[in-house]
Chains A and B, each alone.
Chain A
Amino acid sequence: MMRRSHMRAVGVVAGLCLLAAFSCGKKSGSRSTSVHLWQFWDIAVVAPIIAEFEKQNPGLHVEVEQLTWATGLEKIQAALASGTQPDVCELGSTWLPRFSYEGVLEDLTAVYEAERDSFLMWDSALYKDRVYGLPWVQGSRVLFINRELFKKAGLDPDRPPQTWDELLQASQKIGALGNGVYGFGQNIGEKYVLYKKFMAFAWGNGGDVFDERGNVVVNSPAMLEALEFYLKLAPFSLQEKQEVLDQYFKTGKLGMQISGAWNVKNYALEAPNLDYSCALVPKPAADRGEHVSFAGAEMLVVFKGSQQKEAAVKLARFLQAYPQAKAVSLAAGSVFPAAREAMNDPAFTRDPRIKVFVEQSLTSRTPPAHPGWNEMEEAIDHAVEEAMYGRRAPRWCLDDAAKEITTIAARFNQK
């Protein structure tokens, strides 16, 4: 009896001592004079930009930290929970609405009003008529085509498919080449990707998740049409995870796929002899619809608890500005500035492939700026996957998604 309680006492006392230490909690680092920036790019890329900022603003010191795509969000959450969040932070466009909704972001509407026309991709930062983020860099998805396979299938690589029908025909012809060659690449079996490819078709057809009045229209006729077309591609498609699709394309066994600019960089390194080009995402028909694609935008936010608000906003605007966004984009090689200036900059328009990306950004969209988006995208993923596996008719899949999304949206209506 003595021993057990003796020991328990020690453990408990140790724990209590530390609990007591909480009340005199220290804050780590000298936060009072530095501006803290958390972002996802290599420090080597960002360091010169930071140095320039410090030069232009003597007296201001910036502490940068790099987050990983995989676990950065956890870190941000942990920081917010303990009150140690940074001043400026990079957030993805799919996450921003949730943060706006929770009221943890500084209102940047003044910046928006000054800079509105110079930048694309503001949508995800808009919440209840206020703006909470600054578009920094972005990346659209475009159609990659393998020119050699096109030639082999008797197609003209300089005339990539412009419409759904042309896309279907091209997939058929390339798929018919046999020998382990596929016409088109469709994502399946992983999260965060599928809906991006599908929504490109859906948006191009005039469909969307919500209409202007906020009603859920994910099961509208336009959406159903898009899903049915997407399924038509299936017999000629390789249905696999992104890496496998990239691998197949790289080794010349995949005719076409919708993917992002990171592949331009990768193919240059790993498959320098690959003969491919890029094209806008096909639209439904020559006389209707648009060449719409999905874009992921990286936004800069300022957290409300910041002790350095003025300096933080200054830093955010500095990073967003074209010269800096350009530097980051060129160094990263997989994104482009959200600034409109990029559209005419030879640095981005010189290479015909890159030019397509830039052109596509003009008609690209980020997902609806709804705080519950992360759950909704799963509902869409699930619906498309179910249809692809032939578990249920596309119509019921979309109806289910509509129900699910309505339920999710209802949870966020209290605020």
Chain B
Amino acid sequence: MSRRRRVSPVVWLLLPWALVYGAFFVFPFLFSFVLGFLHYNPLNVANTTFVGAGNVTRLFGDAAFHSALRNTLFFVIGTVPVTTTLALALAWLLHAPLPMKDAFKAAMFLPSILSVVVIALLFKLFYAPGGALNETLRALGLQTHGWLTDPATALPAIMAMDIWAAVGYYALVLYAAFTSIPESLYEAATLEGAGHWATFRHVTLPMLKPALGFVLVINTIRSFQVFVEVLVMTQGGPLGSTNTLVMMLYDTAFRRLDYGYSSVIAYAVFILSGVFSVFALRRMRSQTPVQQRGMPA
């Protein structure tokens, strides 16, 4: 095989991304990073002062930040595993000859078509007294409840909504991965007398690892950034029970005009997401030999 001395394909493959990134994100990221060390107010840019690590140390003593951190972690831990498991289950259910499969796929996908704002508004009404949920409970003779006005149930209510909205979408992603598992592997497993569960564990799951990794990471990153739903439904209330990190960051920047502090909160989210992503990706690294026969670049 002749190897001419030429520019590696990697360069031109990554060029479009590099251009967009370099042109539109380098400056804003640098800017926002520097902001973390400043006391910056857009109304009064001339009065910007350098506070060094002041914003960061402020985080440690800020009860509101700790509360937001707790709520966000609760949100992530409470939704990601559930969504992923349900999505996996749905994808597996779909992956079989079934009548009306297209209809199922379409229906499953419908929640993701709506913008988050619309879903949040829908559920705001859904959870309200006189709304669908409470009316159903009443019909069944059960106690109704102020789901969004009770500090104990507000966050779980938003989490349930989030799971509803996300499951169908991730199920489709996993389904796409399902369809790419070679039939031959299944045939081999059947030949060896493997049952449903064993097949699932030893054929399906390993082949799905990259896709699962994707779902886990993306879902986690997104969950750490939960914001629009909270903004529409509760604005962080009642009594701060639904205050999340991004909700707090948004408030700090645009309502309190403290862009510097807002920036460090953003980077806290960034670090949290980063740590988790690296962790998840490592765990989900595919170990099958069909793997990355990397071409030297």
Contact = CB atoms under 8 A, between A and B. Distances in A.
- Chains A and B touch each other in the complex, with CB atoms below 8 Å apart: yes
Interface of A: 2-3, 6-8, 10-15, 18-19, 73-74, 77-78, 80-81, 98-99, 102-104, 180, 188-192, 238-241, 243-244, 247-248, 251, 253, 374-375, 382, 385-386, 389, 391
Q: Which are the 6 A-B pairs with shortest beta-carbon distances?
A: A14-B22, A81-B42, A11-B22, A11-B18, A15-B26, A191-B235
Given A7-B11, A18-B23, A102-B44, 13 more contacts: A3-B8, A3-B297, A7-B15, A12-B22, A13-B22, A77-B43, A80-B42, A80-B43, A80-B45, A102-B41, A189-B154, A241-B149, A382-B239
15 contacts: A3-B11, A3-B297, A7-B11, A7-B15, A10-B22, A12-B26, A14-B22, A77-B257, A81-B42, A189-B234, A191-B237, A241-B124, A248-B130, A382-B239, A385-B237
B21 interface: yes
Contacts of A11: 18-19, 21-22, 26
A241 B123 CA distance: 13
A14 B22 CA distance: 6
B148 interface: yes
Contact of B43 (A8, A74, A104, A240): A104
Interface in B132-158: 146, 148-149, 151, 154
B78 interface: no
B239 A385 contact: yes
A11 B15 CA distance: 8
Contact of B255 (A14, A374, A386): A374
A398 B248 CA distance: 23
Contacts of B154: 189
Nearest to A239: B149
A389 B239 contact: yes
Interface in B1-58: 7-8, 10-11, 14-15, 18-19, 21-23, 26-27, 41-45
Given A81-B45, A102-B43, A374-B255, A389 B238 contact: yes
B168 interface: no
Contacts of B27: 15, 18-19
Given A3-B8, A243-B124, A375 B256 contact: yes
Interface string B169-184: 0000000000000000
Given A10-B22, A385-B237, A385-B238, A98 B43 contact: yes
A239 B41 CA distance: 37
Contacts of A102: 41, 43-44
A78 B235 CA distance: 22
A234 to B, nearest CB: 13
A244 B121 CA distance: 12
Nearest to A375: B256
Given A10-B22, A77-B254, A385-B238, A188 B128 contact: no
A386 B238 CA distance: 9
Contacts of A247: 128, 130
A11 B105 CA distance: 40
Nearest to B18: A11
B210 interface: no
Nearest to B46: A103
Given A7-B11, A80-B43, A103-B44, A240 B239 contact: no
Interface in B214-257: 234-240, 254-257
Nearest to B117: A70
Report, as a range, how many residues of chain B touch the other chain: 35 or more
B129 interface: yes
A191 B14 CA distance: 45
B19 A240 contact: no
Contact of B23 (A14, A80, A99, A251): A14
Contacts of A243: 124-125, 128
A2 B296 CA distance: 12
A144 B233 CA distance: 25
A366 to B, nearest CB: 18
A241 B43 contact: no
B252 to A, nearest CB: 10
A13 B21 CA distance: 11
Contacts of A241: 124, 128, 148-149
Contacts of A81: 42, 45
A254 B91 CA distance: 46
Contact of B42 (A77, A239, A244, A251): A77
B204 to A, nearest CB: 36
A400 to B, nearest CB: 12
Nearest to B231: A70
A57 to B, nearest CB: 30
Contacts of A80: 42-43, 45
B234 A190 contact: yes
Nearest to A18: B23
A80 B40 CA distance: 12
A292 B27 CA distance: 51
Contacts of A188: 149, 237-238
Interface centre among A8, A81, A241 (most CB of B within 10 A): A241
Contacts of B43: 77, 80, 98-99, 102, 104
Interface centre among A3, A78, A103 (most CB of B within 10 A): A3
A244 B10 contact: no
B75 to A, nearest CB: 18
A18 B238 CA distance: 45
A18 B20 CA distance: 11
A133 to B, nearest CB: 15
B44 A104 contact: yes
Contacts of A238: 129
A13 B23 CA distance: 9
